[in-house]
Structure 1
Amino acid sequence: MSLSYDGRRFRALGGGDGAYAEYRQRGNLVWAEFEGGHVVRGTVTGTCDAGGVLRLAYTMVLGGGEVIAGHSTSTPQWHGGTLVLREVWERYGEHAATGVSYLEEVVLEKSTS
Protein backbone atom coordinates (compact mmCIF):
# COMPACT_ATOMS: atom_id res chain seq x y z
CA MET A 1 0.00 0.00 0.00
CA SER A 2 1.73 3.14 -1.17
CA LEU A 3 -0.74 5.80 0.04
CA SER A 4 -1.10 6.20 3.80
CA TYR A 5 -3.89 8.32 5.28
CA ASP A 6 -2.43 8.33 8.79
CA GLY A 7 -2.26 11.91 10.10
CA ARG A 8 -3.75 13.48 6.95
CA ARG A 9 -6.46 16.14 7.38
CA PHE A 10 -9.28 16.72 4.88
CA ARG A 11 -12.06 19.26 4.42
CA ALA A 12 -14.64 19.96 1.73
CA LEU A 13 -13.05 21.24 -1.48
CA GLY A 14 -12.86 25.03 -1.30
CA GLY A 15 -13.07 25.08 2.51
CA GLY A 16 -16.73 24.07 2.89
CA ASP A 17 -18.30 25.16 6.16
CA GLY A 18 -15.20 24.66 8.28
CA ALA A 19 -15.62 20.98 9.15
CA TYR A 20 -12.48 18.88 8.81
CA ALA A 21 -11.43 15.30 9.53
CA GLU A 22 -8.11 13.94 10.69
CA TYR A 23 -7.54 10.38 9.47
CA ARG A 24 -5.70 7.54 11.21
CA GLN A 25 -4.60 4.29 9.62
CA ARG A 26 -3.27 0.94 10.84
CA GLY A 27 -2.75 -1.57 8.02
CA ASN A 28 -5.85 -1.38 5.86
CA LEU A 29 -8.03 -0.08 8.75
CA VAL A 30 -8.85 3.65 8.47
CA TRP A 31 -10.84 5.92 10.81
CA ALA A 32 -11.39 9.62 11.44
CA GLU A 33 -13.27 12.05 13.64
CA PHE A 34 -14.64 15.30 12.31
CA GLU A 35 -16.42 18.43 13.54
CA GLY A 36 -16.93 22.05 12.64
CA GLY A 37 -19.47 24.03 10.67
CA HIS A 38 -22.87 22.33 10.93
CA VAL A 39 -21.34 19.06 12.25
CA VAL A 40 -21.25 18.79 16.03
CA ARG A 41 -19.55 15.39 15.92
CA GLY A 42 -18.86 12.80 13.24
CA THR A 43 -16.87 9.64 12.69
CA VAL A 44 -15.89 7.40 9.78
CA THR A 45 -14.49 3.87 9.96
CA GLY A 46 -13.56 1.53 7.16
CA THR A 47 -10.86 0.07 4.97
CA CYS A 48 -8.28 1.19 2.43
CA ASP A 49 -7.36 -1.00 -0.54
CA ALA A 50 -3.98 -1.24 -2.30
CA GLY A 51 -4.94 1.63 -4.64
CA GLY A 52 -5.81 3.97 -1.75
CA VAL A 53 -9.60 3.67 -2.25
CA LEU A 54 -11.49 4.07 1.03
CA ARG A 55 -14.70 2.21 1.84
CA LEU A 56 -16.19 3.86 4.91
CA ALA A 57 -19.26 3.88 7.14
CA TYR A 58 -20.08 7.22 8.75
CA THR A 59 -22.23 8.76 11.46
CA MET A 60 -22.68 12.40 12.39
CA VAL A 61 -24.76 14.64 14.61
CA LEU A 62 -25.67 17.99 13.08
CA GLY A 63 -26.23 21.28 14.90
CA GLY A 64 -30.01 20.91 14.65
CA GLY A 65 -29.85 17.54 16.44
CA GLU A 66 -30.24 15.37 13.31
CA VAL A 67 -28.42 12.04 13.44
CA ILE A 68 -27.08 10.97 10.04
CA ALA A 69 -25.66 7.58 9.03
CA GLY A 70 -24.43 6.21 5.73
CA HIS A 71 -21.54 4.85 3.72
CA SER A 72 -19.10 6.19 1.15
CA THR A 73 -16.40 5.15 -1.28
CA SER A 74 -13.57 7.67 -1.63
CA THR A 75 -11.14 7.52 -4.54
CA PRO A 76 -7.85 9.45 -4.27
CA GLN A 77 -6.95 11.88 -7.07
CA TRP A 78 -4.13 14.39 -7.39
CA HIS A 79 -5.02 17.94 -8.48
CA GLY A 80 -2.09 20.33 -8.86
CA GLY A 81 -0.10 18.56 -6.14
CA THR A 82 -3.06 18.42 -3.71
CA LEU A 83 -4.58 15.10 -2.69
CA VAL A 84 -8.35 15.17 -3.34
CA LEU A 85 -10.81 12.43 -2.40
CA ARG A 86 -13.79 11.92 -4.75
CA GLU A 87 -16.40 10.69 -2.30
CA VAL A 88 -19.50 8.85 -3.55
CA TRP A 89 -21.88 8.68 -0.59
CA GLU A 90 -25.28 7.38 0.47
CA ARG A 91 -27.25 8.34 3.59
CA TYR A 92 -29.82 6.08 5.20
CA GLY A 93 -33.12 6.59 7.03
CA GLU A 94 -35.26 9.72 7.21
CA HIS A 95 -32.40 11.81 5.76
CA ALA A 96 -31.79 9.41 2.85
CA ALA A 97 -29.83 10.92 -0.03
CA THR A 98 -27.01 10.15 -2.44
CA GLY A 99 -24.31 12.32 -3.91
CA VAL A 100 -20.70 13.01 -4.79
CA SER A 101 -18.46 15.26 -2.70
CA TYR A 102 -14.82 16.24 -2.97
CA LEU A 103 -12.49 16.49 0.01
CA GLU A 104 -9.12 18.21 -0.20
CA GLU A 105 -6.12 17.56 1.98
CA VAL A 106 -5.29 20.40 4.35
CA VAL A 107 -1.58 20.79 4.95
CA LEU A 108 -0.84 22.60 8.20
CA GLU A 109 1.72 25.38 8.11
CA LYS A 110 4.77 24.68 10.25
CA SER A 111 5.42 27.25 12.94
CA THR A 112 8.70 29.14 12.66
CA SER A 113 8.71 30.27 16.29
Structure 2
Amino acid sequence: MARSLDGLFLAPVTDQAPGQVGTRTRFAYREEEGRIWASYEGGDIVRGHLVGTRADDRLDFRYVQLKTDGTTSSGHCVSTVSELPDGRVRLDETWEWESQEGSGTSVVEEIPAPAARG
Protein backbone atom coordinates (compact mmCIF):
# COMPACT_ATOMS: atom_id res chain seq x y z
CA MET A 1 0.00 0.00 0.00
CA ALA A 2 1.23 3.50 -0.86
CA ARG A 3 1.94 5.80 2.06
CA SER A 4 -0.66 7.79 3.96
CA LEU A 5 -2.25 10.88 2.42
CA ASP A 6 -2.41 12.59 5.82
CA GLY A 7 -0.96 16.09 5.63
CA LEU A 8 -0.20 15.92 1.89
CA PHE A 9 -0.95 18.60 -0.67
CA LEU A 10 -1.88 17.54 -4.21
CA ALA A 11 -2.63 19.34 -7.47
CA PRO A 12 -4.03 18.28 -10.85
CA VAL A 13 -1.50 17.54 -13.59
CA THR A 14 -3.72 19.05 -16.33
CA ASP A 15 -6.72 21.38 -16.50
CA GLN A 16 -10.24 20.01 -16.78
CA ALA A 17 -13.06 21.91 -18.52
CA PRO A 18 -13.60 25.58 -17.52
CA GLY A 19 -15.40 25.97 -14.20
CA GLN A 20 -13.93 22.77 -12.80
CA VAL A 21 -10.81 21.71 -10.93
CA GLY A 22 -7.62 22.80 -12.71
CA THR A 23 -3.86 23.08 -12.29
CA ARG A 24 -4.30 26.06 -9.94
CA THR A 25 -6.49 24.01 -7.58
CA ARG A 26 -4.79 22.74 -4.42
CA PHE A 27 -6.02 19.82 -2.28
CA ALA A 28 -5.07 19.46 1.39
CA TYR A 29 -5.62 15.79 2.36
CA ARG A 30 -6.15 14.15 5.73
CA GLU A 31 -6.35 10.43 6.47
CA GLU A 32 -7.13 8.46 9.61
CA GLU A 33 -8.05 4.79 10.07
CA GLY A 34 -9.37 4.26 6.54
CA ARG A 35 -11.18 7.60 6.39
CA ILE A 36 -10.09 10.40 4.08
CA TRP A 37 -11.13 14.01 3.73
CA ALA A 38 -9.76 17.09 2.04
CA SER A 39 -10.46 20.73 1.41
CA TYR A 40 -9.56 22.33 -1.88
CA GLU A 41 -9.58 25.70 -3.61
CA GLY A 42 -7.98 27.61 -6.45
CA GLY A 43 -8.67 28.47 -10.04
CA ASP A 44 -12.44 28.40 -10.64
CA ILE A 45 -13.06 26.74 -7.25
CA VAL A 46 -13.71 29.04 -4.29
CA ARG A 47 -14.05 26.16 -1.82
CA GLY A 48 -14.45 22.42 -2.10
CA HIS A 49 -14.62 19.48 0.28
CA LEU A 50 -14.38 15.74 -0.17
CA VAL A 51 -15.00 12.91 2.25
CA GLY A 52 -14.76 9.15 1.89
CA THR A 53 -12.86 5.98 2.62
CA ARG A 54 -9.62 4.24 1.72
CA ALA A 55 -9.21 0.48 1.33
CA ASP A 56 -5.59 -0.38 0.46
CA ASP A 57 -4.79 1.80 -2.56
CA ARG A 58 -8.39 2.61 -3.50
CA LEU A 59 -10.17 5.81 -2.47
CA ASP A 60 -13.95 6.16 -2.74
CA PHE A 61 -15.35 9.61 -1.95
CA ARG A 62 -17.99 12.22 -2.60
CA TYR A 63 -17.14 15.86 -3.30
CA VAL A 64 -18.98 19.18 -3.25
CA GLN A 65 -17.69 22.55 -4.43
CA LEU A 66 -18.55 26.24 -4.77
CA LYS A 67 -17.33 27.90 -7.96
CA THR A 68 -16.39 31.53 -8.61
CA ASP A 69 -19.66 32.05 -10.54
CA GLY A 70 -21.62 31.23 -7.35
CA THR A 71 -22.84 27.81 -8.47
CA THR A 72 -22.36 24.57 -6.57
CA SER A 73 -21.81 21.05 -7.84
CA SER A 74 -21.25 17.61 -6.39
CA GLY A 75 -20.13 14.17 -7.46
CA HIS A 76 -18.51 10.82 -6.78
CA CYS A 77 -14.91 9.75 -7.39
CA VAL A 78 -12.91 6.53 -7.18
CA SER A 79 -9.11 6.92 -7.16
CA THR A 80 -6.13 4.60 -7.23
CA VAL A 81 -3.19 5.67 -5.05
CA SER A 82 0.32 4.99 -6.34
CA GLU A 83 3.84 6.20 -5.67
CA LEU A 84 5.90 7.94 -8.36
CA PRO A 85 9.58 6.99 -8.88
CA ASP A 86 10.62 10.13 -6.97
CA GLY A 87 8.50 9.06 -3.96
CA ARG A 88 5.61 11.49 -4.46
CA VAL A 89 2.00 10.27 -4.30
CA ARG A 90 -0.20 10.11 -7.43
CA LEU A 91 -3.97 9.62 -7.63
CA ASP A 92 -5.52 8.30 -10.86
CA GLU A 93 -9.15 9.33 -10.63
CA THR A 94 -12.41 8.34 -12.29
CA TRP A 95 -15.19 10.76 -11.42
CA GLU A 96 -18.79 11.52 -12.27
CA TRP A 97 -21.03 14.45 -11.47
CA GLU A 98 -24.16 13.73 -9.45
CA SER A 99 -25.55 17.28 -9.63
CA GLN A 100 -25.19 17.60 -13.42
CA GLU A 101 -24.28 15.61 -16.52
CA GLY A 102 -20.71 14.51 -17.09
CA SER A 103 -17.89 12.20 -16.07
CA GLY A 104 -14.19 11.80 -16.74
CA THR A 105 -10.74 10.97 -15.49
CA SER A 106 -8.01 13.07 -13.94
CA VAL A 107 -4.60 12.77 -12.30
CA VAL A 108 -3.41 14.63 -9.20
CA GLU A 109 0.09 14.47 -7.79
CA GLU A 110 1.76 15.48 -4.55
CA ILE A 111 3.26 18.97 -4.41
CA PRO A 112 5.36 20.67 -1.71
CA ALA A 113 3.39 22.13 1.19
CA PRO A 114 2.54 25.80 0.67
CA ALA A 115 4.63 28.35 2.54
CA ALA A 116 3.15 29.48 5.83
CA ARG A 117 1.39 32.82 5.70
CA GLY A 118 2.91 35.45 7.97
The alignment partner of 1:6 has SS state of: coil
2:88 paired with 1:76: no
Residue of structure 1 aligned with 2:47, choices 37, 41, 50: 41
Mark the CA change 1:90 to 1:14 in structure 2 (over 3 Å): closer, same or farther: closer
Residue 109 of structure 1: CA displacement?
7.8
- Deviation per CA, 1:78-100, whole angstroms, max 9, x where unpaired? 3332321101000023x321000
TM-score, length basis structure 2: 0.82
Question: What are the ranges of 5 or more consecutive residues in structure 2 without an aligned counterpart?
Answer: 16-21
Identical-residue share of aligned pairs (%): 29
Residue 103 of structure 1: CA displacement?
0.3
Task: Return the structure number with greater helix share.
Answer: 1
Question: What are the ranges of 5 or more consecutive residues in structure 1 without an aligned counterpart?
Answer: none
Residue 19 of structure 1: CA displacement?
1.0
TM-score, length basis structure 1: 0.85
Aligned residues: 109
- The runs of at least 4 consecutive aligned structure 1 residues that moved more than 3 Å come to 14-17, 108-111
2:67 paired with 1:62: yes
Q: CA RMSD in A?
A: 2.2
